[in-house]
Amino acid sequence: MIKASIPIHADIVDQIENNLHEIAPSKWIISQSQITLKARLEGYFENNTTIDEINAEINSFFSDELCENNKLEVLQIKDTDWTESYKIHFKPWNHKGFHWIPIWLVNEYLVPQGDKYLLLDPGMAFGTGNHETTKLCLEEIVEMNIVHSSKQKVLDIGCGSGILAITAAKLGYLNILGIDNDEDAVRISEENAILNQVEQHIRFMNQGIELIEADSNYDLVVANIQSDILIENKNSIIDTTKAVSTLLLSGVLAVEAKNVEMVYSEEFNRRKYNYKSVIKTDGEWSLIRFSILEPREL
């Protein structure tokens, strides 16, 4: 493998992280010292990748000023360095008695008696729970568990590592579908479901949003994907909801949340749905929760 790296300014790390989220999954990660705050953008490529191709990818994803006057460094590394590198960015965390734990820390993390937990190896799929967008979704799913029924159907659009679908299964939902247009994400999701012994309650499928069956009648629909895709596919996503259901939209920058809420609200109003909406924000990211209520006017 080839490791390409370039220094970046500490004050634009958040901006680049946002860019990376918009194109996830990608070959790029950010490495930053918590002491000096010095940061580098690092990418991992096949051996036959040229310097020109690497520079072209940087220029296509990031504006020139992000890496201005900084020199690109290229090193030959062992493949294992790449496949293991994501582990340093995934830390265990918890919310209201539910814990998300990297599998390699299972013997080092104590789960309090009576709490629930999920073991995860995300591999190169997006979704560790450490990013605000995923965390917002997980918090909602955990908090909704108080009133859920095991018979309710759950749809996870853009399942990534499977973390949202598997959390729902660990909380007692028995009928869950996760979809992703990335074959590796589906494979990793299936492996994580087996790891957590909930594979009998979840189906993972390699397909895009446009292939979702209309009128699927899901009680809980979660779509943690970027704003433009949410807007473009609003009809397909809304079509999956039941007469009384919850729709969670995440992957939305806080500055875009009002617009996404407005677009979906206009469609709900056009369909004469009775609904309520709430925006929750964590840092620069937001989640929009639509509670769809009876009656629907016909």
The number of beta carbons lying within 10 Å of the beta carbon of residue 270 is 8
pLDDT tens digits, 208-251: 888 877 667 899 999 999 899 999 999 999 999 998 999 999 99
Domains and CATH numbers, the chain: 2-87 (3.30.70), 91-293 (3.40.50.150)
Buried b / exposed e over 100-137, threshold 16 CB at 10 Å, is bbbeeeeeeeeeeeeebbbbbbbbbbbbbbebbbbbbb
Higher pLDDT, 151 or 293: 293
Structure tokens at 36: 């000096």
Q: Check: CB of residue 249 under 8 Å from CB of residue 220.
A: no
Beta bridge partners of 84: none
Does the pLDDT of residue 67 top 60, yes or no?
Answer: no
- Tell me the C-alpha distance between 193 and 50, whole Å: 38
Does the pLDDT of residue 82 top 50, yes or no?
Answer: no
pLDDT tens digits, 93-142: 899 999 999 888 888 889 999 999 999 887 655 556 678 899 999 999 99
- Tell me the C-alpha distance between 290 and 129, whole Å: 21
The mean predicted confidence, pLDDT, of the chain is: 85
Coil, strand or helix at 55: helix
For residue 46, with 0-12 CB atoms within 10 Å meaning exposed, 13-18 middle and 19 or more buried, which class applies?
exposed
Give the list of residues 6+ apart from residue 269 with CB closer than 8 angstroms, or none.
none
Higher pLDDT, 84 or 13: 13
295 preceded by a cis bond (ω within 30 of 0): yes
Longest dimension (CA), the chain: 63
The number of beta carbons lying within 10 Å of the beta carbon of residue 225 is 23
Predicted pLDDT of residue 35: 65
Which H or E run contains 229? helix 227-232
Does the pLDDT of residue 287 top 50, yes or no?
Answer: yes
Beta bridge partners of 119: 101
